[in-house]
Structure 1
Amino acid sequence: MMPLTRRLAAGTALAALLALPASAQTAPAPAPGSFLSPANIAAGLLRAAVSYGRILADIRYGAIEADPVRGGVILRDLQVNGLGDHANCHVSLGRLELSGLSLWYSEHSHLRIDAGDLSVANNCFGPNAAMIGVVTGTDHIPLASLAIDLRQSMGSGAAVMDIEAVSPGIARIEASADFDHVSIFSPDLLSRMAEGDQRTDPFGADPFAPDEDDLATPFGNPSDTSEPSVGLHGSLRAAHLTVENLGVWERVNPMLPPDIAGPQGMEALVTAPPGTPLHQLQQGLAEALKNFVAQPGRITAEIRPQAPIAFDSTAWTSPEDAAALFMPAFSNALPTPPLALIADPQDASDPRALGLALARGEGVPRNTRRALELLTPLQDDPEIALALADLLADSDPAAAYVHALQAAATGTPGAMAALDRAEARLATADLLAAQPAADSALEDDAFASAVALREAALARAEGRGQTRSYGLAWRLATLAAAAGDSPARALMDRLQARFGDDPAWIAARAQAADAALEDWTDRDLATTLAAR
């Protein structure tokens, strides 16, 4: 690994360590009002950046305001004026707001960046200033607004990104990407590290030590094929990019040769062999460009697959590889919705589909009240039960837990996680009251052997294939433990460590113990278990 890359890798490793979830570190997350809160840290870093930047330019700002409770920082009235040879470079920013900042990753995060009234003087780009001025029509590049939204689920790896940028008199750009899963991926990094290749070891003897190669190749050697490949890996549900003309085309068009801006120039973009997917894609782009030239408005590229498209960017050798995989459709219209829309939310001909759509806010505005009306009569459906658990998680945790118990018992995907989340909101007495009682009837197969008792106890404790019941888990485990089964004894220890001396648990444990003694006697388990 090149020296600069090695240093970046070490820094990335340190950043990854700092970004571990709170449960994976010994230090608790700082209180929102603490100077260690994410907002206060971000504000401090901004002030440090300003102090460092004053070495190079005259930098001033109106205020940096931190909101530790909401995890936000606002920078106002930033002015940057170049010095010396760059005295004609001026940058101004009316407002920059960061929200959703978090030092400790949460299960669901939402980071947003809002910038407004940004202006960058053309002179900041040196010899290119004149050409940029032709494009912008002014002596600066204006950006009225820039908004970036990033929503991410740590559990599933799903991520949604939305970007909107408006430059008055130039263009409006909107883009979105909805990933079912996405992550940075290096297919050969681990194998090289396992082989002891020190060049790929970010924890070498001194990753920050100076190296004579830094001066010759400060950004790495492009011809060094020993570098591990790094890219993105995941699956894409939907994406789009729309560029709308706000005046830039009228200034650029007169400068373009007729053979480029005309229909023949657009057709020259079609280079792939006929009958191939890439040929079809290029034809669509050429047609959209011809329509744009005839009536300058917008060009939209959108990806709307029937199912998520798996991708691995490390295997791409050119942009055409990505285009052929995702096959974006080009048009001159606004992007189409990535999902089917429901015209009439009052049409209950399919209450299941409408209820789920209302619960998720997909295809129709989210409405919890209406979703509950439609889905509650269908609560025996495991998927509906899971949806009801999510809908009631905040307003009625006890009812949400009952629905999660049902969904988890049938193995519905995602139900076990919902069950654990719901359980974390309840007091011990409430969750035990929602579970089957310790003296409930059990299947005869559960008493066939000590192993069968242990497996049944684990299934009840986890809610795997059976409705979760800690009381029944204790009852079954204590029977197996009586026959000398150590894993069953370990399960009892875990349950006891979790609930301790909680009065509700003590009562449930006593009920389970009495039921276990009846099982031992009525089923003659001493004889049954001794014979196995």
Structure 2
Amino acid sequence: MRQPLTILATAVAIASPATAQDSQRPNFWDAFTVEAIGTIALHSVMSWARLLADIRYDQVSVDPVALKVTLTGVRISPYLPDRPDGQCQLRVERLTMNGQPIDVRDTRRMRVALDGVAMEAGCLPFEAAGMLRGLGFPQLTAGRIEADLTYDYPSGGLFARVSADIDRLATVDADVDLDYVSYRMDFARENPEPRGAVDLNSVVVAIQDRGAWDIARKFIMPGQVNPEELAPVVGAGIEAALEDANGPGVAATEKQRAFARSAGAVTASFLTSGRQVVVATAIEKAPLRIDLTQEPAFAALFDALNPTVSHSQPQLASAVSVAELDAAMKAETPPENAFEIGRALITGIGAPKNPNGGIRLLLPLARGGNTEANFLIATEIAAYNPVDAYSHALRAAASGIPGSLALLDRIERDVPFAEVIKLQGSLLGDPEDALYGDLAAMRSAAREFLGGTRRPRSWLAAYYWSSMAAAAGDASSAALRDEIGEIMRLRGDAEGWAKEANSIDNGVLRDWIAKDVPSRLR
């Protein structure tokens, strides 16, 4: 009996795939994968964090390529010296931390998202905890809390967003758009320190009622239960608060009084306008430079920020009307405002994002010479259609559209050499005859063709004019000609470029003789 069983076991083992057999025993090097090391590092960090609080979690997941860490079933009980253990507890069903994917290098992003959050009232100060329990909130719960921070290295700008969906109270969203973050050093001082400043584009804070009003009205005087009755009180109260903030002897400014009146009007229509309040800056000459090392006069800062209060996001004021959007999507030929509508559809600002619809409207404009349309299309399709995107980016960069040159360089890496030469050649005209008699103009033309900003980028044209000028004794042009060859070598296209360069060399010699360039330069 033992022999048939042995034979059967051997047959099964032989029939099993090699991968199935190998997977039964871990490889030594499995401990040194990026994911494994990242997971161990995170466990180590959490162990150190346990010096401050009792921390438990069910599972951790680390994605080192996406720079993403996910913890599920998180329970935190911090050490509070004046509270018994367990009185303060924080629970999070899912905690996600995102960095910037490793293939994105121009920006730095940090996002923290908490799903299914519950915080016991005991985590708050005693008075606040007692008040919260009295209102029927033994704990605060939130479906989602998220904070997102994005810093753009080239521009020095920063965008911050915080949102919280608090159950039975409100949904709060806050956006801060900084055009530039400055931290210059004054090295003339004995102990130089950074002088912090920000260039502010906008701030938007939106609060959507989800039960907070129904709780608040219980504490309002009987004659002011309705928003219409409460409006004058709100307006007067805000104006008085702003005047107090101005300091002694400083009356409320006209913009402060207008803001207070607007707040009262928004309060009056609160229940009939979606139960939402939006406070947003309306800076007249954005960005506004704010020096963080000095405390500005409140009244002057308020007037410069020029805040407004309403029931809707400020972007809705500049949104494409539904009628115009509907007509544009149904039109067989682009309407007069095709660019504005197409831009809104591609960017998702002013209309729902619909890239295909936006490209359909912008493409005729791009073919007609609208280089801003070229740039928008190139930006949208670069990831999945680099060849067509490169064609559009060539035109956008040549006209100096901000950001187009960086886009052109980035797309160029993904386009085959033959396609690049073909697309660059499609934008070239005949050589300018006047250049043959001006050595400096030849050199400038060569650099402009290579750069691609003042003239459409063309490696062949850049090589042609640099070779022509180099033949006349211009050392700078000779260096540029050699630089083009080095660029091709580093691209891995030395063989293809050698054939193109040989053809251009023949053309330079032919034109040098035919146009008698030496005589024209004397």
What band does the TM-score fall into relative to the shorter chain? 0.7 to 0.9
Matched residue type, 1:279: R
Residue in structure 2 matched with residue 195 of structure 1 by the alignment = 188
> Are 1:339 and 2:318 an aligned pair?
yes
2:180: which partner in 1?
Answer: 182
Give the distance between the partners of 2:430 and 2:311, measured in 1 at CA. 66
Instruction: Give the Cα–Cα distance (whole angstroms) in 1 for the partners of residues 364 and 44 of structure 2.
Output: 58
Deviation for aligned residue 1:321:
4.3
Residue in structure 2 matched with residue 366 of structure 1 by the alignment: 353
The alpha-carbon deviation at position 298 of structure 1 amounts to: 3.8
Of structures 1 and 2, the one with the larger relative CO (CA 8 A, separation 6+) is: 1
Is 1:282 the counterpart of 2:280? The answer is no
Q: Work out whether 1:311 is the aligned partner of 2:289.
A: yes
Cα deviation, residue 338, structure 1 = 5.8
Letter in 2 for 1:198: N
The alignment status of 1:244 with 2:223, answered yes or no, reads no
Q: Give the 3 Å change call, closer, same or farther, for CA 80–407 of structure 1 in structure 2.
A: closer
RMSD: 3.6
Task: Give SS of 2:97's match.
Answer: strand
> What is the alpha-carbon distance in structure 2 between the residues aligned to residue 342 and residue 483 of structure 1?
61
Q: Which consecutive unaligned segments of at least 5 residues does structure 2 have?
A: 1-30, 244-250
Distance 1:445 1:64, change over 3 A: same
The counterpart of 1:464, out of the listed 449, 453, 476, is: 453
The offset of 1:291, in angstroms, is: 5.5
CA shift for structure 1 position 292: 5.3
- Find the partner of 1:436 among 415, 420, 425: 425
Residue 400 (structure 1) aligns with: 389
8 A contact 1:457–1:476 mirrored in 2: yes
The amino acid across from 2:201 in the alignment is S
The answer for unaligned runs of 5 or more in structure 1 is 1-32, 201-227
The aligned residue for residue 519 of structure 1 is 511
Residue 297 of structure 1, CA deviation? 3.9
Equivalences for 1:475-486 in 2 at 5 Å? 475-486=464-475
The SS at the match of 2:402 is: coil
1:298-357 per-residue CA deviation (whole Å, 9 max, x = no partner) reads: 432134568744332536525554432222222356766263224213244233433333
TM-score by length of 1: 0.75
Per-residue deviation at 1:104?
7.7
Which residue number corresponds to residue 95 of structure 1? 94
The structural deviation recorded for 1:248 is 3.8
Aligned AA (2:410): R
Matched, 1:330 2:319: no
- Tell whether the 8 Å contact from 1:134 to 1:251 is kept in structure 2 after alignment: no
Alpha carbons of structure 1 residues 287 and 385: separation in structure 2 relative to 1, 3 Å = closer
Distance 1:49 1:335 in 2: 42
Instruction: Give the aligned residue type for 1:197.
Output: E
Distance in 1 of aligned mates of 2:445 and 2:315 = 51
Q: 1:80 aligns with which of 76, 81, 84?
A: 76
Q: 1:417 offset after TM fit, Å?
A: 2.4
Letter of the structure 2 residue corresponding to residue 363 of structure 1: G
Counterpart CA distance in 2 for 1:318 and 1:257 is 35
Whole-angstrom CA distance in 2 between matches of 1:259 and 1:197: 63
Give me the identity figure in percent: 22
Tell me, what secondary structure is at the counterpart of 2:470? helix
Match of 1:424? 413
CA distance in structure 2 between the partners assigned to 1:495 and 1:326 by the alignment: 50
1:114-146 superposed Cα distances (whole Å, 9 cap, x missing partner): 212222222233433544425752222322321
- How has the CA–CA distance of structure 1 residues 452 and 199 changed in structure 2, closer, same or farther, with 3 Å as cutoff? closer
For the residue of structure 2 that corresponds to 1:78, the secondary structure is strand
In 2, are the aligned partners of 1:436 and 1:467 still within 8 Å (CA)?
A: no
* Cα 1:47/1:431, change in 2 over 3 Å: same
After superposition, the Cα gap between the structure-2 partners of 1:291 and 1:135, relative to the gap in structure 1 and judged at 3 Å, is farther
